[in-house]
Structure 1
Amino acid sequence: MNEDSFSVIKLERYDTKNIVDKSINGSLTVVWRDWDDIIKNHPKMVYVTSVLPGQIKGPHLHTKRSSYFSCVHGKVVFVIRDDHGQFHEVIVDESEPVLIHVPNNVASAHMNLARETSRILTLADVSWKPNDNEMIDVTFDGYDWSKWKI
C-alpha cells in the first residue's frame, strides 16, 4: 500500500485539571493545529456525523475531497479499500484518539460497533456544496460486514 491510500495518525491527549485541587477533571485531545503539518491542505469544512448502532455509512469515495476522521464518541470500524482492492480495517474509539486520513478517490465506509450512537468529527479540505456531485457510491463486493454484528 502506498502512502496515498490512507493513514492513521495518533493524536495527542492531555489530562485537564481542576484549578483548585489539581485533580483530573477530564481531558483535551488535539485534533488539528495549523502548524502541525499533518494535514496537507488546511480544512475548509468541519462537521460531526452520527452513526446509529450497527449501521454502516458508505461505502463511497470523494473525487475532489480528502477527509480526516476522528471518533469522538462511541466505537466504529473504518473499512478502507486501497488502490489494489485490499480492505483495511481500523477500529477506533474515543479512548485512544486517532485521525484517519482518507484521500480523494479512495473508497471507505464506517460502521458503528457500539450499542449507542457513535459520533465522528470530520475535517475536509474541500467543503460540501449541494449538488456538487463529487461523491460516488461504491460497493465492497466480497467484504463480510456480518463479522461486526453487535
Structure 2
Amino acid sequence: MSEPRDQHSVRAQVKFRVAAEQALQLLGADRSALPEVLDFDVRAADGILPYRQQVRFFSEDNKTSVRVRLDGDAELKRVDGGEDDKGVPLRIELNGRVLNAAGVEFAAADLFDGALPDASLSLPLKVMQARPRALAPGRYEGEVTLVVKYSP
C-alpha cells in the first residue's frame, strides 16, 4: 500500500552511480597540479634555461610499474612570423631518464618505497632545450602531452 499523496507533493527518484577506477596521476610532489603553462627564462647566448620541478606518481596500486611517454613532438615553434622557423626541440627528463614517444618504464619497486602509501618517491622533472643555442628574438610556443599509464 502506498502512502497517501498530498496534492502539492511530488515524488522524485534519482539513481546514483559511481564508476571507480584505479587512479594514477602525475602531480607536483606536494600534490599540486602541474602548471598548464610554462614561461621559460632565456639567456641570450644559451637559449632556454631548464625548468625543474619535483613530482610524484599518485597511485592506488603501488605494485605495478608505470610507463610515461610523449604524445607528439616536444618542440617550440615560432609563432610571430619571424625568420627563425627551425623550431626549438625540447628534451624532457623524468628522474634523469629522457622521455620519448615510445615510452619509458619506471619499475614499481623503484618508485614506491611505502613511506607515503599512495605516492611514489619525489622525482625530478626537467624540461630543457635539446640543443642549447641562441634564439632569434620572438615568441615561441609548443604543447607537450605526457601520457602516464600502468605498464602491463
Length-normalised TM-score, structure 1: 0.30
Greater radius of gyration (CA): 2
Higher strand share: 1
